[in-house]
Chains A and B, each alone.
Chain A
Amino acid sequence: NAGVTQTPKFQVLKTGQSMTLQCAQDMNHNSMYWYRQDPGMGLRLIYYSASEGTTDKGEVPNGYNVSRLNKREFSLRLESAAPSQTSVYFCASSSQGAVTEAFFGQGTRLTVV
């Protein structure tokens, strides 16, 4: 029972490099989310996908793009990484929108130097 799986767990990037964070869930959930967690800021929503084929911006979308590849997978791409994107990134999924329990992955710790 894997739940929500994120890869990689750790990553160091140089400023200007690009990378994609992968997320997959095996719970047949419709909705998926990407959050970033910074000290003192809590969890802030970057992008979300209410259902397969749809994506919407969250609170802090600048510098990121997403792809809902299929019902299971939701990836987050940093096109040109900046030090301000140093953070812990969490992927989450829920069965039906924001009023059902969200299940989180273990997180990706990203450092941009």
Chain B
Amino acid sequence: QQQVKQSPQSLIVQKGGISIINCAYENTAFDYFPWYQQFPGKGPALLIAIRPDVSEKKEGRFTISFNKSAKQFSLHIMDSQPGDSATYFCAASSDTDKLIFGTGTRLQVFP
């Protein structure tokens, strides 16, 4: 079964707009929630990560919002740029468990 559910599968955003990708998890033992960014032909690379002791983490134009009671977290990309066009994966893990990825979201930002 899918332990980390990600939506949408694809997203088209105008330059300057806000991109929002959502994830939901089932295992309440998860306590580490990273987002990875992947460009075509490359391996994924860590973008930003959050622990459940905070509800939000911001790094530049990228923000993770975390809702522990709903078991949901989301990635917001402000002022989206064509260079942000990539596939984004959410993931979840714990000290005693492996890193489980969502199914990915292909983001396209048009000028």
Contacts and interface: CB of A to CB of B under 8 A. Distances in A.
Contacts of A58: 98
Contact of B98 (A48, A103, A106): A48
Contacts of B42: 106-107
Contacts of A56: 98
Given A98-B32, A98-B93, A90 B98 contact: no
Interface of A: 4, 33, 35, 40-45, 48, 56, 58-59, 90, 92, 97-99, 101-107
Nearest to A107: B43
Q: Is the interface of A mostly helix, strand, loop or mixed?
A: strand
Given A102-B46, A104-B45, A45 B93 contact: no
Contact of B95 (A33, A43, A99, A107): A99
Contacts of A104: 43-45
Contacts of A101: 34, 46, 49
Contacts of A59: 100
B101 interface: yes
Given A43-B44, A104-B44, A99 B94 contact: yes
Interface in B28-46: 31-32, 34, 36, 41-46
